[in-house]
């Protein structure tokens, strides 16, 4: 513990943001990381608690009190060594993790928690700047081969760990670029894609082969998921050619809203809007779905919805409204009741601050098309208010209303992984159609199919980047133990 009285002396300092009027004019990141001296003060606030609840609250179990102390002492090189012990990609989580660690911080019981995420951000950015993030190729090759299907954070973490253990790893990705939802989902203004590119280079130097534009399949993709693959390879071919296979294909099937008018032009799944936007920023040509001058309604209140809000405002939407089916949560959590767990409370993202009217307890009943030149296009939306009793939703009588709408984005989450990927391998699924695999015990992350493993959203359902990294790392250890009889990779 760097400074015993730090938590009494120093307040929390959040990272700064570029003003809204400036940042909505571009797609670059707009967060100002803490300076060295600001990060030092944040590190000094850590109480180095006997039981570090933050460490348990962090899905990758980052050793938070240790790196807080090292940053307080300005020993940045040791800090990145500690951080990399548990997290392959802190530059991703330091930007886009919702920071459950901070909800679990003991100082947070009666004060504002330590800014753990901002410290993580500062450590990894400095490490890259200083050239301390170097490839770590394995000293000995094992001669074993592993195929990883999907290049999101779960696939990337699994691939990096397995390559460092000496295996020959090939990552198959149906999209034309590597990164999963980090690349094609999360907008550049939250996380710039050069961060993925430099990790790809590092991983290539460690021996990972990336094969973008190759879909592993014996079937079709469902509606709402675009196929950017140039080639296909069958599940059988992977099973024949590799000693182990890790399925890390994410949970891609979007939840639909099958109300009258769903077929109208201007009603889209969120990723039909967000993926082409990321491709546009990458230089692939314009996003054909435009929000300029339009009344945009985003249906769904989570991260995906918030990203649609931020992107619509950058397009220059006339108005942006976001609906949520659930009631508005309280502004503050009941700390004694929920600490150290993740609280349900009102969360306002930087995208909301850029301009958005949020409305809760609203259900959409119909998309309304126009007439004449607007025939076949959405022009309005009919909704009603709902109330929740004993967990059941009821329509509030006489509460229907109509709003102008030229663009509706469905951001109500993802129901399950693409079934054809799992059935191609014969992988059993659970009640939610996710790949069935335990996370503990000798068969951790193994599916029912010999030598086929599953990790990330494909196994746990729609989740977070940090959980995907955890699962990728843990699955890698299981694969390594399966191939070699034992593993020295960390769990």
Tell me whether strands 452-454 and 407-410 are parallel, antiparallel or unpaired.
unpaired
**Percent helix, percent strand, percent coil in the chain, to nearest 5:** 35, 20, 45
Task: Please tell me whether residue 166 binds ligand FAD under the rule CB under 6 A.
Answer: no
Q: What distance in Å separates the CA atoms of residue 22 and residue 16, rounded to the nearest whole number? A: 14
Residues 479 and 371: their CA atoms lie apart, in Å, by: 59
Write the CA distances from 455 to 152, 168, 414, 467, integer angstroms.
11, 19, 16, 10
Whole-number Å distance between alpha carbons of 148 and 158:
8
Q: Considering CB distances under 5 to 8 angstroms, the limit depending on partner class, which of ligand FAD, ligand SF4, none binds residue 464?
A: ligand FAD
Q: Which stretch binds ligand FAD (CB under 6 A): 80-88, 152-160, 312-320, 426-434?
A: 152-160
Interaction residues for ligand SF4, span 436-475 (CB under 6 A): 466
DSSP labels, 116-130: HHHHHHHHHHHHHHH
- Contact flags string 271-310 toward ligand FAD, x per CB under 6 A: ---x----------------------------xx--x---
Q: Say how far apart CA 124 and CA 77 lie, in whole Å.
A: 10
Closer residue to ligand FAD in complex, CB, 119/409: 409
Residue whose CB is less far from ligand FAD, 3 or 177? 177
Smallest separation, CB 95 to ligand SF4 (Å): 9
Tokens of 297: 């309604």
**362-369 and 378-389: which strand pairing?**
antiparallel
* Among 230, 233, 228, CA closest to 184: 228
Give residues 86-125 in contact with ligand FAD (rule: CB under 6 A). Answer: 96-97
- The span from the CA of 121 to the CA of 95, in Å, is 7
Three-class DSSP category at 257: coil
The answer to the question of residue 216 lying near ligand FAD (CB under 6 A) is yes
Taking the complex as a whole, the smallest distance from the CB of residue 89 to ligand FAD amounts, in Å, to 11
- Binding of ligand SF4 by 214 (CB under 6 A): no
Of 45, 117, 144, 473, the one binding ligand SF4 (CB under 6 A) is 117
Whether residue 340 has a cis bond before it, omega within 30° of 0: yes
Residue 215 in contact with ligand FAD, rule: CB under 6 A: yes
412 to 431, contacts with ligand FAD by CB under 6 A?
418, 421
Residue number, 118 or 304, with CB nearest to ligand FAD: 304
Shortest distance, position 87 Cβ to ligand SF4, whole Å: 6
Phi, psi of 46 (to 5 degrees): -65, 135
- Quick one: which H or E segment has residue 17? strand 16-17
Rounded Cα distance, 476 and 164, in Å = 10
* Residue 123 found at the interface with ligand SF4 (CB under 6 A): no
> Quick check: 58 binds ligand SF4 (CB under 6 A)?
yes
Query: Which of 224, 370 has the CB closer to ligand FAD?
Result: 224
Question: DSSP class of residue 263?
Answer: T
Of 56-64, 131-139, 151-159, 372-380: span binding ligand FAD (CB under 6 A): 151-159
Residues from 64 through 83 that contact ligand SF4 (CB under 6 A): 64
Which x/- pattern, by CB under 6 A, does the window 246-265 give for ligand FAD? --xxx---------------
> Alpha-carbon distance 56 to 49, whole Å?
12
Q: How many CB atoms lie within 10 A of CB 240?
A: 8
Query: Would you count residue 120 as binding ligand SF4 (CB under 6 A)?
Result: yes
Examine residue 93 and tell whether it contacts ligand SF4 (CB under 6 A).
yes
Tell me how far CA of residue 181 lies from CA of 175, 275, 355, in angstroms.
Answer: 10, 9, 24
Rounded to whole angstroms, the Cα distance separating 158 from 335 reads 36
Q: State the binding partner of 60 from ligand FAD, ligand SF4, none, CB within 5 to 8 A by kind.
A: ligand SF4
Instruction: Kindly state the smallest distance separating residue 36's Cβ from ligand FAD, in Å.
Output: 26
Determine, following the binding rule CB under 6 A, whether residue 167 of this chain makes contact with ligand SF4: no
Locate 108 and state its tokens. 């947070």
With CB under 6 A, what is the number of residues at the site for ligand SF4?
Answer: 13
Whole-number minimum distance, CB 467 to ligand FAD, in Å?
A: 7
Q: How many CB atoms lie within 10 A of CB 361?
A: 18
Q: Which of 39, 99, 275, 418 binds ligand SF4 (CB under 6 A)?
A: 99
172 is a contact residue toward ligand FAD (CB under 6 A): yes
463-482 binders of ligand FAD (CB under 6 A): 463-466, 468
Closest distance to ligand SF4 from the beta carbon of 468 (Å): 11
In angstroms, rounded to a whole number, what is the distance separating the alpha carbons of residues 370 and 308?
A: 24
Rounded least distance, CB 215 to ligand FAD, Å: 4
Quote the longest CA-to-CA distance of the chain.
72
Contact between 154 and ligand SF4 (CB under 6 A)?
no
Give the binding site for ligand FAD (CB under 6 A). Answer: 96-97, 149-155, 172-175, 180-182, 185-186, 190, 215-217, 248-250, 274, 303-304, 307, 418, 421, 456-458, 463-466, 468
């Amino acid at each position: 513990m760097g400074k015993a009285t730090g938590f009494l002396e120093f307040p929390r300092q959040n990272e700064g943001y570029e003003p809204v009027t400036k940042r909505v004019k571009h797609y670059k990141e707009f967060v100002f990381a803490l300076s060295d001296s600001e990060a030092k003060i944040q590190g000094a606030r850590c109480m180095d608690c006997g039981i570090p609840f933050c460490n348990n609250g962090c899905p990758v179990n980052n050793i938070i009190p240790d790196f807080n102390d090292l940053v307080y002492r300005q020993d940045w090189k040791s800090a990145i060594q500690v951080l990399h012990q548990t997290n392959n990609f802190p530059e991703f989580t330091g930007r886009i993790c919702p920071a459950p660690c901070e909800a679990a911080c003991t100082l947070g019981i009666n004060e504002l928690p330590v800014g753990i995420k901002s410290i993580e951000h500062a450590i990894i950015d400095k490490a890259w700047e200083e050239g301390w993030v170097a490839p770590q190729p394995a000293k000995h090759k094992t001669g074993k081969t592993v195929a990883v299907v999907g290049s999101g954070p779960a696939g990337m973490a699994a691939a990096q760990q397995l390559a460092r253990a000496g295996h020959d790893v090939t990552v198959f990705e149906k999209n034309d670029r590597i990164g999963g939802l980090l690349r094609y989902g999360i907008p550049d203004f939250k996380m710039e894609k050069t961060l993925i590119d430099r990790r790809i280079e590092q991983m290539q130097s460690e021996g990972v082969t990336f094969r973008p534009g190759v879909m592993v399949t014996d079937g079709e993709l469902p509606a709402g998921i675009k196929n950017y693959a140039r080639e296909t390879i069958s599940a059988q071919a992977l099973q024949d050619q590799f000693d182990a296979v890790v399925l890390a294909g994410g949970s891609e099937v979007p939840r639909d809203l099958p109300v009258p008018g769903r077929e109208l032009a201007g009603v889209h799944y969120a990723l039909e809007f967000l993926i082409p936007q990321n491709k546009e920023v990458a230089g692939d040509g314009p996003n054909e779905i435009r929000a300029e001058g339009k009344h945009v309604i985003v249906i769904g209140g989570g991260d995906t919805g918030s990203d649609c809000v931020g992107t619509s405002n950058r397009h220059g939407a006339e108005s942006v409204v976001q609906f949520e089916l659930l009631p508005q949560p309280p502004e503050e959590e009941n700390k004694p009741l929920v600490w150290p767990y993740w609280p349900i409370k009102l969360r306002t993202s930087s995208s909301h601050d850029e301009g958005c009217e949020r409305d809760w307890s609203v259900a959409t009943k119909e998309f309304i098309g126009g007439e004449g030149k607007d025939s076949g296009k959405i022009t309005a939306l009919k909704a009603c208010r709902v109330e929740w009793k004993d967990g059941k939703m009821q329509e509030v009588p006489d509460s229907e209303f109509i709003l102008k709408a030229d663009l509706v984005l469905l951001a109500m989450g993802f129901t399950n992984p693409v079934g054809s990927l799992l059935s191609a391998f014969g992988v059993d699924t659970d009640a939610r159609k996710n790949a069935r695999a335990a996370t503990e015990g000798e068969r951790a992350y193994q599916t029912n199919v010999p030598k086929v493993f599953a990790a990330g959203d494909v196994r746990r359902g729609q989740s977070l980047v940090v959980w995907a990294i955890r699962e990728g790392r843990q699955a890698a250890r299981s694969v390594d133990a399966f191939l070699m009889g034992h593993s020295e990779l960390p769990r």
